[in-house]
Amino acid sequence: MLKQPSEASNKTWLTLALFAIVAAAASATPSPWWEGKLLDIEPVLPWAAAALPPELPDLAAPEEALLAVVPAEASAQTAPPGEASGSAEATAGSAEASGHPVAQIAAQPHAAPSPAVARAEVAAAGSGSGHAATLPAPDEGSAVAAVTPSAPAAAAPASNDPEISDAPPSAAELRHVRPVIAALVAALDPPKVPMERPCSDPSCRGHALDRFFAKLTRTALGTTARPVRISQFGDSLVMGDDFAGTVRGRLQKAFGEGGHGFFYIAHPERPYAARGYSLSLSTDWKIRTVVTAGSSNRNFGLAGASFAVDGAPAFFARQTDGLLPTTRVGLLYHANASRGGFDLTAGDERTSRDLAVAQGSDGLEWVDLTKPSDRFRVSRFRGDWLWFGAVAERSGPGVVVDNMGMVSGRVAQMSKIDRAHWARQMAARGTDLASFFYGVNDAAEGNGFVSRKAEFERAYAELLRRSRNALPHGDCLAMGILTRGHREGGTVLTYPSVGQMTEVQRAVARAEGCAFWSPYENIGGDDGAEKWNSGSPRLLGADLAHPTRSGYVKLGNLLTSALLHAYLAWIDSSLGAHP
């Protein structure tokens, strides 16, 4: 005998039916708070995938990917093959332990160093002398010329972070590096539209990325005491770390493992991911971000999110990718009071760091570990301070790519950050290349971007200009928008705003002396959204704005290829000017 449905059962079915109706409506309604629909039935945002991405293929064959070539000064001190002593072998082992690939250079003409030179120049300790080139004196009539270094308003304590010289490498050094870079580039598909490097000063004595490429050369030579640092800013296309993580993995395979770099100290706005790490983040924070907070307190840190203690917060990070362990951990802060501190535990090593600084100062406090560790925990945050992020690095040569993305990020939001505060944070971080990937939230449907074009152009120029001001010995890279599409029938069409925004971003980058690279043009322009959405594997997600995981990896590979092709062209141009 069948039972009659009870009143409770009827209510359950009614609730499920109402839920289905609401879910269907939410999946078709654009969200006013984030990109995409209110309910994304097919999640394509990067943090939705919990599994680790597949192993990245090597950029080139193993023998081609070894970049630790000998400094040019060593070329005159050649030794016959087979004459290398045990000390040279020990040096090679030390460099391998630092995460910097050691080149097999004995068979290369004029490239075998004496053991003494190898010990002095290739060892992970490096020199990092930091003899910096000086910008030409600015003229009054040019946007590029208006760049002046920002003086710190409140000095932070002296940092133990070594500098990397941005002086032009010698022709001999470039000749040592070139064959290996050329082999790397030969294994990569050339970009459809190359990276643009406009003049960086009114007289055009320098170009965008000159300083960064000079530092990258010294990393390739194995003479740096710290890794070269790229800070990748952007919106949700960056925050999930599949894009930035791909670039990080590619460059580290070529130039050495410098560590993960920057972590938010807690989740800002929405959860974030760190490729190759398992994170445990506390909620005992008062969190303010440039996305939702006002400008009453403009100390948002470098990435646009500040964290004030509200309980007993802790941060824990553990490597899961099998890469080389961390040797240095740093904390970025703003001191509202003169005294503060934190405890750091790495493996079985515990450090309690109490700091006395000038009130209102910004800094990055480094802790050098006595033993490398694949995990660390920060706790017992003390003082009325704002904390912004933790940094994990390795000493010696290599590359670091910081993920400083923010969900729902827009260009104009960065102007909420106090300019002097941001410059001090940038200086504390020691960024060598600031890269900006914004646009998907500013691109309007239809032709709506036209009405906001002037406002976007002003905000974009302000962001790049403050970057140039904050990086007197570094460089800036403006990445154009990727794409944003819509469906008409069975076809995906790209909104006109994407091409319009790309041209604005290109023009502003040129005027401000920053490099420019266009993802939109490199995926096929207006045809790119359709190609990426219909291909196999599918590279563009259901919202036709965010890539799939495969798409993020593809985008990271495209940028890496463009950067290395530009680097090789810079080497050739430098050798042509100084044969």
User: Closest by alpha carbon to 206, among 175, 239, 167?
Assistant: 167
User: Closest by alpha carbon to 313, among 332, 285, 333?
Assistant: 285
| Range list of β-strands (E), 275-338 | 277-281, 285-289, 305-309, 315-319, 326-335
Contacts of 10 (CB under 8 A, 6+ apart): none
Is pTM beyond 0.85 here? no
The b-or-e profile of 416-452 (16+ CB within 10 A means b, else e) is bbbbbbbbbbbbbbbbbbbbbbbbbbbbbeeeebeeb
Residue 209, pLDDT > 80, answer yes
Region for residue 128 given its phi and psi (left: phi exceeds 0; alpha: psi -120 to 50; beta: otherwise): left
The helix or strand, by DSSP H or E, that contains position 220, with its residue range, turns out to be helix 210-221
How many Cα atoms within 13 Å fall on the side-chain side of residue 97? 13
| Range list of β-strands (E), 406-467 | 433-437
Contacts of 452 (CB under 8 A, 6+ apart): 442, 444
Residue 192, pLDDT > 70, answer yes
What amino acid occupies position 315? F
What is residue 321's predicted lDDT score, i.e. its pLDDT? 87
Render pLDDT for 33-78 as a digit per residue (tens, 0 to 9). 344 445 543 333 333 323 333 333 333 333 233 343 333 333 333 2
Q: Angle CA(166)–CA(172)–CA(177) in degrees, nearest 5?
A: 75
What whole-number distance in Å separates Cα of residue 444 and Cα of residue 447? 7
Render pLDDT for 323-335 as a digit per residue (tens, 0 to 9). 899 999 999 999 9
Mean pLDDT of 342-350: 96
Residue 131, pLDDT > 60, answer no
Mean pLDDT of 99-103: 39
CA 416 vs CA 51, 305, 419, 435: distances in Å: 35, 11, 9, 19
What whole-number distance in Å separates Cα of residue 36 and Cα of residue 544? 9
Contacts of 217 (CB under 8 A, 6+ apart): 169, 173, 174, 177, 571
Contacts of 102 (CB under 8 A, 6+ apart): 66, 68, 92, 95, 96, 122, 222
Q: Does 537 sit behind a cis peptide bond, omega within 30 degrees of 0 on the bond before it?
A: yes
| Range list of β-strands (E), 438-527 | 475-479, 485-488, 491-494, 515-517
Per mean pLDDT, which range of 97-111, 182-196, 285-299, 508-522 is the poorest?
97-111
CA 95 vs CA 101, 260, 537: distances in Å: 7, 18, 38
Percentage of the chain exceeding pLDDT 70: 72
CA 13 vs CA 19, 22, 25, 41, 287: distances in Å: 10, 14, 19, 21, 40
Between 318 and 146, name the one with better pLDDT: 318
What whole-number distance in Å separates Cα of residue 542 and Cα of residue 39? 12
Between 144 and 236, name the one with better pLDDT: 236
What whole-number distance in Å separates Cα of residue 521 and Cα of residue 538? 18
User: Closest by alpha carbon to 181, among 486, 561, 559, 439?
Assistant: 561
| Range list of β-strands (E), 105-260 | 228-234
Q: Angle CA(508)–CA(474)–CA(143) in degrees, nearest 5?
A: 30
The C-alpha R_g of the chain, in whole angstroms, comes to 25
Residue 298 tokens, joined: 């403009």
Full set of structural domains in the chain with CATH: 72-121 (no CATH), 193-258+397-579 (3.40.50.1110), 259-395 (2.60.120.1360)
What is residue 27's predicted lDDT score, i.e. its pLDDT? 59
Residue 132, pLDDT > 50, answer no
